[in-house]
């Protein structure tokens, strides 16, 4: 029953996910083919009959290529983006998954197949109907099986789709082998089999036995494809290990047991062990990823695993969830071996990945229903329970893409819980959401823990670990270096308190303080400061100096401040070898020298665009296919047309048809560049960096024209082998001018599409059908009445006429088309993305001035209201606010991504602006070094380019191709692009998102060094309040599109809106609580916790003395002292927006 439930659930999801608009596009080619079939009447002679007999057998298999491409893209997308792995972790059978996808696309293919089949039967007067139906059904089954088999060879969905389209289109032409009396080649693939079968029927040949051979061979193909698909899929899922991978268990040397190295705390009275890991070991080649790991995880507790990227966290989670095979060791869930009871245990596992793996076309309710169906429960009451707990009830009918970032994370957590999960793995559950939403999720996770669940999470937010975790395991180099509660970890690493003596007026006071506390050592940071001294001390040291503190507070006019250090201090101390605070500041010293000469800068920018085109074409297999495919088609046309067609008119028709088709395919290369660079916001970046419209178009056009010259040269060589009407010189001129026309036409057409993937798929078809085939058919029917109009509009149509007519010069038409389409492209680009919001700022004391800016998407919704900002030289301005407050809209206005409607934005018109956006606009086929080199040239860099690039790469620890990088690595590259060169203003939109604490600290220091050593100013947005407090010179809050108060410094905000210093004490019992209350009468109470706001009544010395006495009397279990900080201000302001919403 469970088997059928999963197949039905995946079928249900796939059908729900079907985009009717996309399905309509897939019907486009079949409908055109049907139209052609119906247009050609019986008895027709000439090109129509020729097209019917020769080309229709090729075009009918092509009708299914779009659907097969869609299957490849969707299936590989789910595989690559871990959708399949996610549901496998939670008990999905892979066989069920494969069967469901197979059935889904058989049903979709039957829709197209039935339309074509009925048309063909009608044309053939319904002769041998059953035979044709059987043949067509087997073809559909075999082609879907072939497509699924192809998917096993790819991990990139777009590459899979493009290669699949290319491969299956070429296979259709194998039926031409029958014309050379090589029929055996026809049976190598389903496409050529059905083409051969149809050609036999449409030509009326009726060769004896063909139908039965076709049916038999299609049946064999179906069985072979499906068996191979299942075998390869099973092999790929064996933990990523192939059959020939070495088993490292043999010869494994037992390492020293880590349990002796670690200390475990408070194990008495704990709940039973839900997960036990014993001597877990994982090795890749010579690299040890997990090194003899031992760990116990308890029910009704939260374990947090911390560590830098590469520490072994992800590998450990993958092994625990069954995605990866271990080399050796043992894993027990509730006392049962994971190796022996995997299927049973995986039904109890829930997993929340770092990225939101949600289906855009499903609602919140449907997403939970799908997960419930997959687990065989489909319980409405359980779904309602999780909706209520996650506070998602009011969003149950929203599509998942309509949810805010916080609500998407809540839904992802709910999906991990549905269906009876007992052990929940959470990979960075609060990544990329604002602090208020994070706290909502913290509250939910604490509630989940109480209903007998075990939670295992990873996070880069150490305050999150400190708040949530009952136990923390810090990993380094595949080992657990320290394990225990947050409090005990801080104790073990002796990270206690920071004692600050401030307001020091003289060197005598400074000397006296140092002499009073000879047993304490000054912290490194305070050695360079004159007016304050900081000591790091533990609790025992603190209590030992209480009398001296009391005396000093009375006799000296010195401010004494005591703050308890956080878990982050402990973590940084453990990983201090990887911190480069001083190193970064000292070595960040190779600023690129940029040219101020306009012409030199333009030449550098054009050369950069040409280098980019070269690198992309060199590395992008999809573009290479689109370059090779037209030439391959032309070669087939030459062989077939020259050797088999005796009639000159037929040869001319056939060759011109294939030339037009080849250039229509080739056009996808030219349309992809402007669309992709708009989609990735690269075009906007280039504009901000000073690349003019002329420079961009000229550099891009030259690169594309060079590509079309390769195809043109190939066509020229082939064409002169055939008796064409044109001379060699005429042909060369026509093809060269056609290149100008077709590229400009592709650029202008790019504004028809919002997605590069959609354009790549549809534009060649539109180009061929609407710019060549349909105008030709209309001309044929209406006797050239509109030929003059078509010649001025459609490049492919004009090329077709030029190749067949030597009496008229078509050069002028290509030039007219080039001028029209290039003018249209420039006008559209200028109107849509190249508008200017900026006005010139005369005040040299400011880099940016925003005055009274307002923005609304419609008359009813104002996103921004009266925003005023100013950015001074060598300063960092931070914009803070919850998700949906309007920060991103404001940045888009500043960077000219949106048009300003009210107010003014002023800055120096010659200033280079760089930005690091949330969605990294990067060319995926290039390496980090190549991208930085290109952007250095685009910014006009002429000196120290290589030095600065190598320095940035070393500091940020990035290398390799973008396509192979993690999300954190991509963020580093995006930041490096914005920092390289001498940009006057830099905009950083959540630059440290997804980075571990060490990488984040190094990055923050690099940003500080950049501001200090360059004449740059920075606008920063972040959800990390510690980062904002560490970096910012001034801060502006955006709440519901408004500034609740003017732009201010961090100190002013905390003093005015913070909560002061807060002391939290946990009493050991109710009786002890009464004694604590007597010591601190002014308090807030919550259970055994009391919270005291320290001020004039409770100074530091008095407070420490009271705490010492309470500890000696054994009345308190623990206490924390927290300073007023920016997060308190942020949360208070955020609640205003949530209350209004």
pLDDT one-digit tens code per residue, 408-461: 888 999 999 898 889 999 988 887 777 778 888 888 888 888 888 899 998 888
Whether 805 contacts 779, CB under 8 Å? no
Same domain, 441 and 519: no
Rounded mean pLDDT, 533-556: 75
Domain assignment present for 1127: no
pLDDT in tens, 1001-1047: 888 888 888 887 777 889 998 888 888 888 888 999 998 888 888 88
Q: Which of 244-258, 334-348, 463-477, 481-495 has the lowest mean pLDDT?
A: 244-258
Which residues neighbour 70 within 8 Å (Cβ) at sequence distance 6 or greater? 22, 26, 161
* pLDDT number for residue 248: 36
Q: Which of 33-47, 90-104, 140-154, 236-250 has the lowest mean pLDDT?
A: 236-250
Residue 95 has pLDDT above 80, yes or no: yes
Nearest to 576 by CA among 677, 495, 465, 630: 495
Q: How far apart are the first and last CA of the chain?
A: 45
**Domain stop point among 807, 829, 851:** 829
Q: pLDDT above 90 covers what percent of the chain?
A: 12
Rounded mean pLDDT, 465-478: 87
Q: How many structural domains are present in the chain?
A: 6
Q: Which residue has the higher pLDDT, 785 or 820?
A: 820
Nearest to 767 by CA among 748, 780, 781: 748
Domain assignment present for 252: no
**Domain stop point among 491, 521, 546:** 491
Q: Which residue has the higher pLDDT, 966 or 907?
A: 907
* pLDDT number for residue 663: 79
Q: Which residue has the higher pLDDT, 498 or 316?
A: 316
Domain assignment present for 1129: no
pLDDT in tens, 627-672: 787 777 777 766 665 555 555 655 666 666 677 777 777 788 888 8
Q: pLDDT above 70 covers what percent of the chain?
A: 80
Question: According to the per-residue pLDDT averaged within each range, which of 17-31, 310-324, 498-512 is highest?
Answer: 310-324
Domain assignment present for 1074: yes
Residue 142 has pLDDT above 90, yes or no: yes
* pLDDT number for residue 591: 59
Same domain, 475 and 505: no
| Burial letters 404-430, b for 16+ CB under 10 A, else e | bbbbbbbbbbbbbbbbebbbbbbbbbb
Domain assignment present for 331: yes
Rounded mean pLDDT, 1072-1083: 82
Residue 17 has pLDDT above 90, yes or no: no
Q: Which of 49-53, 410-414, 625-629, 678-682 has the lowest mean pLDDT?
A: 49-53
Residue 272 has pLDDT above 90, yes or no: no
* pLDDT number for residue 54: 59
Q: Rg (Cα) of the chain, in Å, rounded?
A: 35
Residue 934 has pLDDT above 80, yes or no: yes
How many CB atoms neighbour CB 1126 within 10 A?
23
Q: Which residue has the higher pLDDT, 322 or 632?
A: 322
* pLDDT number for residue 748: 92
Residue that has been written with the tokens 């007016």 in this structure = 531
What pTM, to 2 d.p., does this model score?
0.75
* pLDDT number for residue 303: 93
Domain with residue 557: its CATH number is 3.30.70.260
| Helix H or strand E segment including 104 | helix 94-123
* pLDDT number for residue 255: 32
Domain assignment present for 358: yes
* pLDDT number for residue 555: 61
Domain with residue 1008: its CATH number is 3.40.50.300
* pLDDT number for residue 423: 92
Q: Residue 661 corresponds to which tokens in the numbers above?
A: 């088709």
* pLDDT number for residue 552: 74
Q: Which of 522-531, 713-722, 918-927 has the lowest mean pLDDT?
A: 522-531
Residue 110 has pLDDT above 70, yes or no: yes
Rounded mean pLDDT, 160-189: 71
334: region left, alpha or beta (phi > 0 left; psi from -120 to 50 alpha): left
Residue 799 has pLDDT above 60, yes or no: yes
Rounded mean pLDDT, 509-526: 70
Residue 247 has pLDDT above 50, yes or no: no
Whether 1028 contacts 1022, CB under 8 Å? yes
* pLDDT number for residue 241: 39
Same domain, 763 and 861: no
Same domain, 902 and 1007: yes
Domain with residue 1110: its CATH number is 3.30.70
**Domain stop point among 829, 850, 877:** 829
Whether 644 contacts 725, CB under 8 Å? no
User: Across the strands, what pairs with 1120?
Assistant: 1064
* pLDDT number for residue 554: 66
Q: Which of 152-156, 1031-1035, 1082-1086 has the lowest mean pLDDT?
A: 1082-1086
Same domain, 903 and 807: no
pLDDT band at residue 99, thresholds of 50, 70 and 90? very high
Q: Which residue has the higher pLDDT, 248 or 1097?
A: 1097
Same domain, 964 and 1084: no
Q: Which of 474-478, 919-923, 984-988, 1087-1091 has the lowest mean pLDDT?
A: 919-923
pLDDT band at residue 304, thresholds of 50, 70 and 90? very high
Question: Which segments of 833-985 does DSSP mark as H helices, in order?
Answer: 887-894, 928-938, 945-956, 967-979
* pLDDT number for residue 513: 79
Same domain, 808 and 690: yes
* pLDDT number for residue 1035: 92
Same domain, 655 and 798: yes
815: phi then psi, degrees, rounded to nearest 5: -65, -40
Q: What is the extent of the structural domain holding 823?
A: 620-829
pLDDT band at residue 780, thresholds of 50, 70 and 90? low
Q: Which of 211-225, 791-805, 1078-1092 has the lowest mean pLDDT?
A: 1078-1092
Nearest to 420 by CA among 350, 364, 334, 367: 350
Residue that has been written with the tokens 């044709």 in this structure = 132
Residue 177 has pLDDT above 70, yes or no: no
Same domain, 955 and 1044: yes
Domain assignment present for 582: no
Rounded mean pLDDT, 214-219: 90
* pLDDT number for residue 239: 46
Q: What is the DSSP string of 1022-1044?
A: -S-HHHHHHH-SEEEE-BTTB-S
Rounded mean pLDDT, 742-764: 84
Q: Which of 17-26, 640-649, 795-804 has the lowest mean pLDDT?
A: 640-649
Same domain, 663 and 736: yes
Domain assignment present for 809: yes
Q: Which residue has the higher pLDDT, 151 or 722?
A: 151
* pLDDT number for residue 504: 74
* pLDDT number for residue 203: 65
Rounded mean pLDDT, 930-943: 82
What 3-state DSSP class applies to 305?
strand
Question: According to the per-residue pLDDT averaged within each range, which of 109-118, 551-560, 582-591, 1114-1123 is highest?
Answer: 109-118
Looking at every residue in the chain, the average pLDDT score rounds to 79
Q: Which residue has the higher pLDDT, 444 or 406?
A: 444
Same domain, 203 and 264: no
Same domain, 1035 and 1095: no
């Amino acid at each position: 029953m469970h088997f059928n439930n999963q197949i039905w659930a995946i079928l249900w999801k796939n059908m729900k996910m079907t985009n009717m608009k996309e399905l309509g596009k897939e019907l486009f080619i079949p409908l055109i083919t049907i139209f052609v079939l119906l247009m050609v009447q019986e008895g027709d002679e000439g090109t129509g009959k020729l097209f019917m007999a020769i080309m229709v057998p090729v075009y009918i298999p092509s009708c299914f290529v779009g659907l097969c491409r869609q299957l490849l893209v969707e299936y590989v997308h789910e595989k690559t983006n871990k959708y399949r792995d996610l549901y496998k972790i939670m008990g999905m059978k892979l066989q069920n998954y494969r069967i469901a996808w197979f059935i889904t696309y058989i049903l979709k293919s039957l829709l197209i197949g039935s339309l074509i089949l009925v048309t063909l039967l009608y044309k053939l007067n319904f002769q041998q109907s059953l035979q044709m139906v059987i043949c067509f059904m087997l073809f559909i089954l075999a082609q879907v099986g072939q497509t699924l088999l192809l998917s096993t060879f790819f991990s990139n969905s777009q590459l899979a789709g493009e290669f699949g389209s290319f491969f299956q289109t070429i296979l259709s032409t194998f039926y031409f082998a029958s014309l050379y009396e090589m029929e055996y080649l026809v049976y190598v693939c389903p496409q050529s089999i059905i083409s051969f079968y149809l050609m036999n029927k449409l030509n009326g040949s009726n060769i004896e036995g063909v139908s039965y051979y076709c049916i038999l061979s299609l049946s064999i193909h179906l069985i072979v494809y499906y068996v191979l698909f299942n075998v390869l899929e099973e092999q790929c899922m064996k933990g990523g290990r192939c059959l020939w991978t070495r088993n490292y268990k043999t010869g494994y040397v037992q390492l020293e047991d880590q349990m002796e190295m670690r200390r475990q705390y408070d194990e008495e009275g704990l709940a039973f062990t839900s997960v036990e890991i014993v001597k877990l070991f994982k090795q890749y080649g010579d690299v040890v990823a997990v090194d003899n790991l031992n760990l116990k995880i308890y029910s009704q507790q939260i374990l947090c695993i911390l560590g830098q990227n590469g520490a072994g966290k992800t590998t450990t989670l993958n092994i625990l969830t069954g995605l990866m095979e271990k080399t050796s060791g043992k894993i027990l869930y509730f006392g049962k071996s994971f190796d022996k009871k995997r299927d049973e245990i995986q039904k109890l596992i829930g997993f929340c990945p770092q990225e939101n793996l949600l289906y855009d076309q499903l609602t919140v309710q449907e997403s939970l229903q799908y997960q419930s169906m997959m687990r065989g429960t489909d319980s409405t009451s359980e779904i309602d329970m999780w909706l209520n707990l996650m506070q998602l009830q009011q969003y149950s009918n929203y599509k998942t893409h309509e949810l805010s970032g916080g609500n998407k994370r809540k839904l992802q957590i709910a999906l991990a819980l549905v269906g009876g999960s007992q052990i929940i793995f959470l990979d960075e559950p609060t990544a990329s959401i604002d602090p208020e939403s994070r706290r909502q999720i913290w509250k939910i996770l604490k509630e989940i823990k109480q209903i007998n669940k075990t939670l295992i999470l990873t996070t880069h937010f150490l305050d999150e670990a400190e708040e949530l975790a009952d136990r923390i395991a810090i990993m380094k180099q595949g080992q657990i270096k320290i394990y225990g509660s947050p409090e005990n970890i801080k104790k073990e690493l002796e990270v206690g308190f920071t004692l600050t003596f401030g307001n020091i007026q003289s060197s005598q006071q400074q000397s006296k303080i140092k002499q009073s506390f000879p047993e304490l050592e000054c912290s490194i940071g305070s050695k360079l400061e004159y007016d304050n001294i900081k000591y790091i001390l533990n609790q025992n040291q603190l209590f030992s100096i209480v009398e001296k503190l009391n005396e000093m507070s009375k006799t000296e006019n010195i401010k004494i401040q005591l703050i308890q250090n956080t878990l982050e201090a402990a973590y940084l101390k453990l990983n201090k070898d990887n911190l480069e605070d001083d190193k970064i500041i000292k070595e960040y010293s190779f600023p690129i020298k940029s040219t101020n000469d306009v012409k030199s800068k333009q030449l550098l920018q054009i050369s950069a665009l040409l280098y980019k085109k070269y690198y992309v074409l060199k590395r992008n297999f999809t573009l290479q296919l689109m370059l090779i495919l037209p030439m391959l088609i032309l070669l087939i046309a030459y062989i077939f047309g020259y050797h088999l067609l005796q009639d000159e008119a037929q040869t001319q028709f056939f060759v011109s048809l294939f030339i037009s088709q080849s250039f229509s395919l080739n056009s996808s290369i030219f349309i992809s560049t402007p669309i992709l660079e708009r989609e990735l916001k690269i075009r906007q970046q280039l504009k901000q960096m000073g690349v003019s419209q002329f420079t961009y178009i000229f550099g891009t056009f030259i690169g594309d024209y060079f590509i079309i010259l390769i195809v043109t040269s190939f066509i020229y060589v082939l064409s002169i082998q055939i008796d064409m009407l044109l001379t060699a010189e005429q042909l060369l001129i026509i093809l060269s001018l056609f290149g100008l026309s077709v590229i400009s036409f592709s650029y202008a057409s790019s504004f028809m599409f919002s997605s590069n993937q959609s354009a790549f798929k549809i534009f060649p078809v539109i180009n061929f059908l609407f710019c060549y085939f349909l105008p030709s058919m209309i001309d044929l029917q209406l006797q050239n009445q509109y030929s003059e109009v078509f010649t001025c509009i459609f490049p492919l149509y004009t090329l077709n006429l030029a190749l067949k007519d030597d009496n008229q010069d078509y050069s002028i038409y290509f030039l007219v088309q080039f001028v029209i389409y290039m003018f249209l492209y420039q006008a559209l680009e200028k109107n849509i993305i190249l508008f200017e919001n900026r006005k010139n700022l005369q005040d040299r004391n400011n880099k940016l001035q925003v005055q009274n800016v307002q923005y609304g998407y419609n008359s009813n919704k104002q996103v921004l209201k009266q925003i005023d900002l100013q950015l001074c030289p060598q300063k960092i301005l931070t914009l803070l606010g919850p998700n949906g407050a309007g920060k991103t809209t404001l940045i888009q206005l500043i960077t000219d991504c949106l048009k300003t409607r009210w107010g003014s934005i002023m800055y120096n018109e010659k200033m280079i602006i760089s930005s690091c956006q949330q969605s990294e606009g990067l060319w995926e086929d290039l390496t980090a070094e190549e991208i930085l080199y290109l952007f250095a040239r685009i910014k006009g860099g002429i000196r120290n380019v290589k030095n600065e690039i190598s320095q940035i790469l070393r500091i940020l620890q990035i290398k390799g191709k973008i396509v192979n990088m993690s999300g954190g690595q991509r963020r580093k590259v995006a930041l490096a692009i914005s920092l390289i060169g001498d940009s006057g203003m830099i905009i950083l939109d959540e630059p440290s998102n997804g980075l571990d604490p060490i990488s984040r600290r190094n990055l923050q220091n690099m940003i500080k060094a950049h501001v200090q050593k360059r004449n740059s100013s920075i606008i920063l947005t972040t959800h990390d309040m510690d980062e904002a407090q560490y970096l910012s010179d001034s801060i502006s809050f955006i709440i519901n599109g408004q500034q609740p108060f003017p732009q201010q410094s961090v100190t002013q905000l905390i003093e005015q809106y913070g909560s002061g210093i807060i002391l939290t004490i946990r009493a050991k019992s109710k009786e002890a609580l009464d004694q604590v209350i007597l010591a601190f009468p002014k308090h807030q109470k919550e259970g055994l916790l009391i919270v005291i706001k320290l001020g004039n009544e409770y100074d530091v010395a008095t407070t420490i003395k009271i705490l010492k006495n309470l500890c000696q009397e054994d009345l308190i279990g623990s206490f924390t002292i927290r300073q007023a900080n920016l997060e308190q201000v942020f949360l208070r302001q955020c609640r205003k927006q949530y209350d209004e919403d």
